[in-house]
A and B are shown apart, each in its own frame.
Chain A
Amino acid sequence: MTLPEGAAVLEVRNLTKRYGNTLACDSLNMSIQEGMTLGLLGPNGAGKSTFIRMLMGLTSVDSGDIFLFGHDAISPSQEIRNRIGYVPELHHIYRWMSIKEVLGFVSKLYQRWDDALANDLLLKFELLPKMRVAALSKGMTAKLGLIIALAHNPDLLILDEPTSGLDPIIREDFLESILQSHTCKGRTILFSSHHVDDVERVADDVAIMVNGRFAIRGTVDDLRSRIKRIRIVLPDGKLPKIVPPQVLFQRIARREWTVTIDQFSDALFNQLVNENDAVNAEVFDLNLEDIFKDVVRGQKSQIEEACNDLGSH
């Protein structure tokens, strides 16, 4: 199964999932091109894991389409699964098996399993083959999960909060292996996390997911250059007259209006300063963590406003 020309390795169209009244994923649209690493950032409950579980066929899809390697993959075929490496947040590897038995079992299921690579990774991660999975620590189990995901040379690596709960040293080993896998093999990677620094380190492209939607997407540099925070001191007793539509988050404390804006430009800055009769104004560069926090806070305040509107009606 080869990737059709121009097709994305992963593409979703209007992907929707509901749990009762809760909309876990709301008409998601996105694609990942071959060789790209997409970092999926989002707070807890944003819908990242549901999205990834739908990609893996572990959770049913209410509506929408999933295409993996250019083929329909609402329930991924055996051939597609052979090309995907998946590392979940919580590993449910057979506890009664030893590491050797797990790798022996899994090796017979994958067409491209590389025993030498599996052994190299075992040595690198200092895992003893005779150890039972039940006796492994959380970090060791995560490492075993990564070995299983990498040793069959997948074309697409899907990582769902893989470093969650790991100590800094294991986290470092983990990220290094992912980076190495990306650099040496040119794999496409979808890396979900709420650790901004992990995503910043690994990802080419970042998508921020809030309340079941992709709020924003771009490269780290692109996001840094286009999203800025402006602090404007307003005249006494005045509120902002002009609020541009590309506001991601705003906060007013006495006379100080702090606004985070997408698609920042000097012209927009001047417009805000002039039309709001600003006493003083400053522009701040943001790092990815600040951008993430402001996008999340902004989306949450939008929902609160919508709820208040509903309540008042």
Chain B
Amino acid sequence: MIWALIRKDARLLRNYLRSAVVVTGCSYLVTAIVIHRESLPDASTPWGTAMTLLVLALGSNLGFLATAFMAALMAGSVFTLERSDRSAEFLACLPPTRKQNLVSKLSVVLVPVGLMIFVHILTNITAHQVSAYVPAGSYLRNRLVFATGILTYVSIIIATLGGALAVSALLKSNGVPVLCGLFSPFFVLGVVLILGYVLDIPAEGNAFANRYATNAFVIGGAFAAMGCYWYLTRNST
């Protein structure tokens, strides 16, 4: 039964899923085109390796941001699309329970987002490896965000996903949930800055990035949990 629901939900979000694939590819393509049009960072660097390094590293960074956007789009639509055309009422009369529907919907959002994150982490790690073979590698290594950056990016994605999911569970159209999802990372930033100001914590360097990531994980996770709870306990479909 659950596979039938997942297949249905995947078809429901098929346009977004296709977009996710295109956006992932485009992140690297756009980076490649931009780099190709610009001069190399170091003239002594072999062209091919440096190009690869930059495309992978910068492309993955761009890809992380695109993933956050797609996460907001998919999480903001996963509950609302069926409500907007009232097919949620048809589904509510069929045997699957709300829990089963929720599992299916979460799978259809989390698996592609997880895959996108995995691809970008993989390319980021690859870029990190490649940088060792490039004379300008150490320079680039310092300039590009790796381990800490990945954590921050993932936390931004969690925040967008949670924000969109929470609002999506309450509404019938996907516009507001998507916007709320996109706004969530800034909301988290506001929380971190206010807390830092109130508790007098200096907002500098990696410590700030780590604090932001931790807060984004917690707040995003809480939003997502609230969204799931609201979906399960909502009176109407």
Q: Report the bound CA distance from A131 to B143 in whole Å.
A: 57
B104 to chain A, nearest CB (A): 11
B129 to chain A, nearest CB (A): 44
B interface residue numbers (CB < 8 A to A):
1, 3-5, 7-8, 11-12, 85-90, 92-97, 235-237
Interface members, chain A 104-133 (any B CB < 8 Å): 105-106, 108-111
A172 to chain B, nearest CB (A): 25
A interface residue numbers (CB < 8 A to B):
56-60, 77-78, 81-82, 86, 88, 90-97, 105-106, 108-111
Q: Report the bound CA distance from A60 to B67 in whole Å.
A: 38
Q: Report the bound CA distance from A97 to B7 in whole Å.
A: 12
B236 and A95 within 8 A (CB): no
Q: Report the bound CA distance from A91 to B89 in whole Å.
A: 9
Q: List 28 A-B contacts (CB under 8 A).
A: A56-B93, A57-B92, A58-B93, A58-B236, A59-B236, A60-B235, A77-B97, A78-B95, A78-B97, A81-B93, A81-B95, A82-B95, A86-B93, A91-B90, A92-B85, A92-B86, A94-B90, A96-B12, A97-B11, A105-B7, A105-B8, A106-B94, A108-B1, A109-B4, A109-B5, A109-B94, A109-B95, A110-B94
A108 to chain B, nearest CB (A): 4
- Set of chain B residues within 8 Å of A94, measured between Cβ atoms: 8, 12, 87, 90
A92 and B89 within 8 A (CB): yes
Apart from A60-B235, A81-B93: 7 A-B pairs, beta carbons within 8 A: A56-B92, A78-B95, A92-B87, A94-B12, A97-B11, A105-B4, A111-B95
- Set of chain A residues within 8 Å of B95, measured between Cβ atoms: 78, 81-82, 109-111
Q: Report the bound CA distance from A105 to B95 in whole Å.
A: 12
Contact of B1 among A91, A97, A109 (CB under 8 A): A109
- Set of chain A residues within 8 Å of B5, measured between Cβ atoms: 109
B93 and A96 within 8 A (CB): no
- Set of chain A residues within 8 Å of B88, measured between Cβ atoms: 92
- Set of chain A residues within 8 Å of B94, measured between Cβ atoms: 81, 106, 109-110
A92 and B1 within 8 A (CB): no
A95 and B92 within 8 A (CB): no
Closest to B14 in A: A96
Q: Report the bound CA distance from A94 to B5 in whole Å.
A: 13
- Set of chain A residues within 8 Å of B3, measured between Cβ atoms: 108
B87 and A93 within 8 A (CB): yes
A58 and B90 within 8 A (CB): no
Q: Report the bound CA distance from A81 to B93 in whole Å.
A: 7
Contact of A58 among B4, B8, B89 (CB under 8 A): B89
A61 to chain B, nearest CB (A): 10
Contact of A93 among B12, B90, B92, B237 (CB under 8 A): B90
- Set of chain A residues within 8 Å of B1, measured between Cβ atoms: 108-109
B87 and A109 within 8 A (CB): no
- Set of chain B residues within 8 Å of A110, measured between Cβ atoms: 94-95
Q: Report the bound CA distance from A21 to B86 in whole Å.
A: 26
A198 to chain B, nearest CB (A): 22
Closest to B237 in A: A58
- Set of chain A residues within 8 Å of B237, measured between Cβ atoms: 58
- Set of chain B residues within 8 Å of A92, measured between Cβ atoms: 85-90
- Set of chain B residues within 8 Å of A97, measured between Cβ atoms: 11
Q: Report the bound CA distance from A93 to B35 in whole Å.
A: 49
Q: Report the bound CA distance from A96 to B93 in whole Å.
A: 19
A272 to chain B, nearest CB (A): 49
B189 to chain A, nearest CB (A): 38
Closest 7 CB pairs of A and B: A108-B4, A92-B86, A60-B235, A81-B95, A92-B90, A86-B93, A92-B89
B96 and A109 within 8 A (CB): yes
Closest to B86 in A: A92
B230 to chain A, nearest CB (A): 14
- Set of chain B residues within 8 Å of A86, measured between Cβ atoms: 93
Closest to B3 in A: A108
Q: Report the bound CA distance from A56 to B3 in whole Å.
A: 24
A64 to chain B, nearest CB (A): 16
Q: Report the bound CA distance from A95 to B4 in whole Å.
A: 17
Closest to B90 in A: A92
Closest to A83 in B: B95
- Set of chain B residues within 8 Å of A78, measured between Cβ atoms: 95-97
- Set of chain B residues within 8 Å of A106, measured between Cβ atoms: 94
- Set of chain B residues within 8 Å of A109, measured between Cβ atoms: 1, 4-5, 94-96
Q: Report the bound CA distance from A56 to B88 in whole Å.
A: 13
Q: Report the bound CA distance from A124 to B75 in whole Å.
A: 41
- Set of chain B residues within 8 Å of A59, measured between Cβ atoms: 235-236
Q: Report the bound CA distance from A91 to B94 in whole Å.
A: 13
A58 to chain B, nearest CB (A): 6
Q: Report the bound CA distance from A82 to B96 in whole Å.
A: 9
